[in-house]
Structure 1
Amino acid sequence: MRTLLVAAATCAAAGLLLSGPARAAPSTPQTGLSDVMGGDQPLLTCVVPAIREGVVASLRSFHRAMARCADRFWAGRFAAAGLAYSPPQVTITTGSDSVCGKITSSGAHYCPEQRTIVIRIMKQDLRDPFRMNMAHSVAHEWGHHVQQLTGVLDAQSALYWPASSSARTLLSHRLEMQAECFAGVFYNAALESIKPGIEWEDWIDAVRRAEESEIHGKPKNLAFWQDRGYRGGATGFCNTWTATKTKVT
């Protein structure tokens, strides 16, 4: 099986922690998520178009369709939990600028202050537009938006600023792995509609074998949390904040 571009697909929010100290927060950023947005959920039917290799407009259409799918899913989950929900803005670009500054890495990022997901279409995406890589750009960053809406980002930021360098790295890993888990929760309902072009077990194996990221942590743990969200199908399975260090480094 060819090497998948998982590392690019899971690129997280550039500048996620650069907006300054937040208000006082709980000792962990979970903020009650263990008890909400869970339970049985029907499969989500979304229309996600085919991607034409080398065509920017085709990739834009795919990402827009993925955004509509993710929005429907999370709006439903928030409503079922009795929580307020608002969708993020979604910007799709081929350039290196975004509403929260330069895109310093490939893939996608989330701008928390602007509540905007920025998807960057790269040359590699045009040459080899593998559906699951493209889908994950949206699913992972929507996970950060869920963290924003539920107070997790503010709580993490409050813990981050007074922390040591090593503690900050661990907090970053916990944040990214929870976003991976939230993506898995979404896939539990939407994967069939996405038509990923790869079996789930093969995808998770590809995530496990991706290049390690200082921000995200070890690929094997990213794979663990994404798979946990997928198999659990609820945000209560995504409490990375009290997980042992070995599961989030």
Structure 2
Amino acid sequence: MRAVLAPVAGLVAVLVAGAVIGGPATAAPRAGQVTLSGVMGGDLPRLRCAVPAITVGSAASLRAFHKAMAACADRFWAERFAAAGLPYSSPEVTITSGADSVCGRLSGAGAHYCPEQRAIVIRITRHDLRDPFRMNVAHSVAHEWGHHVQQLTGVLRAQEALYLPASEQARRVLSHRLEMQAECYAGVFYSSALKSIGPGIAWDDWLDAVRQAEESEVHGKPRNLAFWQDRGYRGGATGFCNTWTAARAKVG
């Protein structure tokens, strides 16, 4: 990502404005700001997506699942941006079982978002083949699409400009705020698409599973990740996803 030089106060304002596509506004937009407020609040139409079954041990079925999830997420966010009268562009999506990608060599498993390329890379692992838990697999797409929304709304650039000069502790908090907003955006998507996904688990049970995951230095405490994902799901609008002014206890 490129650094963006701007006053800190202005950057925070962009982060707050970029958090809102409908739902309760948490700050008044300033002149010249990109704002997504006033859209996607209230009842969302149920999104119908054809998401196929996954067969244990079948890389082809995982690829088909990821492709269907990507098409579903793309349609959802394209409609939300269109309703806001804002431009939307789809990310490049690559599904691979290797370590090399359009973003360079991948470190670790799972899905990755690469801002400069505006690309989502999904890596199929041996664990996925052995235990393709449907909601886990779906979430890899939903969360990374949240980062793409952050890219399109300027949040990633604003966060980077705050991140570069920050102390190690401040960087950790900024990282948590970014990741938890992406979790919340995934929840907003689920509020419309979960039935089509057919997660194979009740929502509250899924949240319990999220809370019991291992803590990540980048992502923060699992209980907070579950909180923001549930907030997006129950709110059904990205206006519920302003992690940037939330108390530190909610993003730790």
Q: Same fold, TM exceeding 0.5?
A: yes
Match of 1:102?
105
Does residue 64 of the first structure (1) align with residue 67 of the second (2)? yes
**37 and 118 in structure 1: CA distance in 2 versus 1, 3 angstrom threshold:** farther
**Unmatched 5+ residue regions in structure 2?**
26-36
After superposition, the CA RMSD in angstroms is 1.1
Matched ranges for 1:17-166 at <5 A: 19-24=1-6, 26-28=11-13, 29-32=15-18, 33=20, 34=25, 35-39=37-41, 40-166=43-169
SS of 1:90's equivalent in the other structure is: strand
Task: In structure 1, give the amino acid aligned to 2:59.
Answer: V
**Unmatched 5+ residue regions in structure 1?**
1-18
Cα contact 2:111–2:123 (8 A) shared by 1: yes
CA displacement 1:73-105 (0-9 Å, x = unmatched): 000111111111011000000011222222112
Match of 2:198?
195
CA distance in 2, matches of 1:20, 1:123: 34
Structure 1 stretch displaced more, 117-126 or 32-41: 32-41
Match of 1:15?
none
CA distance in 1, matches of 2:104, 2:38: 33
Task: In structure 1, give the amino acid aligned to 2:11.
Answer: P
How far apart are residue 36 of structure 1 and its match?
A: 4.2
Q: Normalising to structure 1: TM-score of the pair?
A: 0.90
Counterpart among 227, 232, 236 of residue 224 in structure 1: 227
Q: How many residues align?
A: 231
CA displacement 1:194-246 (0-9 Å, x = unmatched): 00000000000100110000000000000000000000000000000000000
Cα contact 1:36–1:235 (8 A) shared by 2: no
**27 and 230 in structure 1: CA distance in 2 versus 1, 3 angstrom threshold:** same
Structure 1 stretch displaced more, 109-118 or 94-103: 94-103
How far apart are residue 27 of structure 1 and its match?
A: 2.3
CA displacement 1:25-63 (0-9 Å, x = unmatched): 522412252424422210000000001111111100000
Structure 1 segments of 4 or more deviating over 4 A? none
Task: In structure 1, give the amino acid aligned to 2:16.
Answer: Q
Task: In structure 2, give the amino acid aligned to 1:232.
Answer: G
Cα contact 2:3–2:160 (8 A) shared by 1: yes
* Percentage of pairs with the same residue: 71
